[in-house]
Amino acid sequence: MRKLTDFRRITVKIGSALLVENGALRRAWLEALADDIKALSDAGKEVIVVSSGSIALGRGVLGWPTGQLKLEQAQAAASVGQIALAQAYTEILAERGITAGQILLTLGDTEERRRYLNARATIGTLLKMGAVPIINENDSVATSEIRYGDNDRLGARVATMASSDCLVLLSDVDGLYTAAPQKDPNAVFLPEVAMVTPKIEAMAGSAGTAYSSGGMKTKIDAAKIAQSAGTTMVITSGKTMNPLSGIDKGARATWFPAHSTPSSSRKAWISGALKPKGSLFLDEGACTALRGGSSLLPAGIRRVEGDFSRGDAVRIIDAHGVDIGRGLIAYDYTEAALIIGRNSREIEAILGYSGRSEMVHRDDLVIGAVEDEQ
């Protein structure tokens, strides 16, 4: 049996219906969940929370307790509810000695590489400090074309962006069945889905409409994102108290095992899927440092070439002109050209702002195994 404690960095997505009832926060439930988070953190695990609930919490306050909201009403409700939601997390986690940090994302923040690097770095920094990032979609400004609209897929994007090895979807369903269990007595529960096939998608289609407003469809979409990026996903019911520790005590859950590890799929993405937009020519010292697992600093670069923006992939060329790898660059070409050969401490004086000390962070570097470019 799989356990949450087998994983290292766990992203937990929490549905609105678990957190909010009749427009009010289910505080006791959240407190129990915070106990679970504390236990994971005490066991050395990193936890990221993707929480819904802002619209559900805010709508009552604004006088729209029930019924379908127009987009602008939902956005206004989110702006009211998000404050209450963040406050609740801050207080309840602080009572357990944990610091919470709020991050509101739009679709573009997870899809565009230059913004993606920022969100990833912020999450990484919070985790390093033992803080728990509390993430939601920035519903108040995201317009319909650029919205996720559901936190299942947002949760999967956050998990893969943050190289989480596990994503837990807590909602009102306890897993995937071959058909809607309330309607079909022959519905069979599936404890594990190795791969999302068209047959699985068809099951999700019928089950989703029948028993979940969020829908099984978005959960299956989330599974596809997660599994292919090296994140194992698990769906379990959050209707009980302490649903996270419940998983390790054998609560019903459907597991979607990852097809690789987060770091190998990220490396494959950097070295294979992205077309390099330029090249960095290194000196001997930098090549040695990189082979030893270090980040690439501006000081070790002799020359830059190309037309790249922050977040683009670039070729890494050694002192003999050999292409040795790929990396995601932290600076635009014009900035990079100004700071190469210089000490990282000088970056602020040269650029006028304090940028990152690495030109390419080691997590964004792949040395060796460069695939042929088309």
Q: Does residue number 52 form part of the binding site for ligand GLU (CB under 6 A)? A: yes
Q: What does the block give as tokens for 178?
A: 């071959």
Q: Does residue number 227 form part of the binding site for ligand GLU (CB under 6 A)? A: no
C-alpha 75/C-alpha 146 separation (Å) is 13
Q: Which of 139, 174, 318, 358 binds ligand GLU (CB under 6 A)?
A: 139
C-alpha 211/C-alpha 231 separation (Å) is 26
Q: How far is CA 85 from the centre of its chain?
A: 19
Q: Does residue number 150 form part of the binding site for ligand GLU (CB under 6 A)? A: yes
Q: Does residue number 276 form part of the binding site for ligand GLU (CB under 6 A)? A: no
Rounded least distance, CB 213 to ligand GLU, Å: 8
Q: Does residue number 231 form part of the binding site for ligand GLU (CB under 6 A)? A: no
Q: Does residue number 53 form part of the binding site for ligand GLU (CB under 6 A)? A: yes
Nearer to ligand GLU, 215 or 300 (CB): 215
Its sign, for the CA torsion 322, 327, 332, 336, is negative
Q: What does the block give as tokens for 161?
A: 């962006």
Nearer to ligand GLU, 106 or 295 (CB): 106
Buried b (16+ CB within 10 A) or exposed e, 191-213: eebeebeeebeebbebbbebebe
**Stretch 99-138 residues interacting with ligand GLU (CB under 6 A):** 136-137
Q: Does residue number 151 form part of the binding site for ligand GLU (CB under 6 A)? A: yes
User: Phi and psi dihedrals of 142, rounded to 5?
Assistant: -70, 125
Residues 306/278, Cβ–Cβ less than 8 Å: yes
Q: Does residue number 221 form part of the binding site for ligand GLU (CB under 6 A)? A: no
| Strands laid side by side in the 166-171 sheet | 100-105, 132-137, 46-51, 9-14, 166-171, 232-237, 253-256
Q: Does residue number 318 form part of the binding site for ligand GLU (CB under 6 A)? A: no
Q: List Cα–Cα distances, 73 to 25, 78, 106, 279, 328, in angstroms.
A: 20, 8, 18, 48, 39
Number of residues that bind ligand GLU (CB under 6 A): 14
Nearer to ligand GLU, 86 or 98 (CB): 86
Rounded least distance, CB 57 to ligand GLU, Å: 8
Site string for ligand GLU, 234-263 (x = CB under 6 A): ------------------------------
Q: Does residue number 16 form part of the binding site for ligand GLU (CB under 6 A)? A: yes
Q: Which of left, alpha, beta for 25 (phi over 0: left; psi -120 to 50: alpha)?
A: beta
Nearer to ligand GLU, 222 or 280 (CB): 222
Q: List Cα–Cα distances, 246 to 3, 25, 32, 232, in angstroms.
A: 10, 22, 11, 17
Q: Does residue number 55 form part of the binding site for ligand GLU (CB under 6 A)? A: yes
Residue with tokens 């990852």: 258
Rounded least distance, CB 287 to ligand GLU, Å: 46
**Pick from 253, 274, 231, 238: which is nearest to 366 by CA?**
274
Rounded least distance, CB 37 to ligand GLU, Å: 19
Number of neighbours of residue 353 by Cβ within 10 angstroms? 8
Pick the piece of the chain touching ligand GLU (CB under 6 A) from 54-62, 114-122, 198-206, 254-262. 54-62
Q: Does residue number 214 form part of the binding site for ligand GLU (CB under 6 A)? A: yes
Rounded least distance, CB 105 to ligand GLU, Å: 10
Q: Which of left, alpha, beta for 318 (phi over 0: left; psi -120 to 50: alpha)?
A: beta
Rounded least distance, CB 78 to ligand GLU, Å: 6
Listed in order, strand segments (DSSP E) in 151-283 are 166-171, 176-177, 189-190, 232-237, 253-256, 278-282
Rounded least distance, CB 86 to ligand GLU, Å: 11
Q: Does residue number 160 form part of the binding site for ligand GLU (CB under 6 A)? A: no
Rounded least distance, CB 219 to ligand GLU, Å: 10
Q: Does residue number 232 form part of the binding site for ligand GLU (CB under 6 A)? A: no
Nearer to ligand GLU, 16 or 231 (CB): 16
By CB under 6 A, name the binding residues for ligand GLU.
15-16, 52-56, 78, 136-137, 139, 150-151, 214
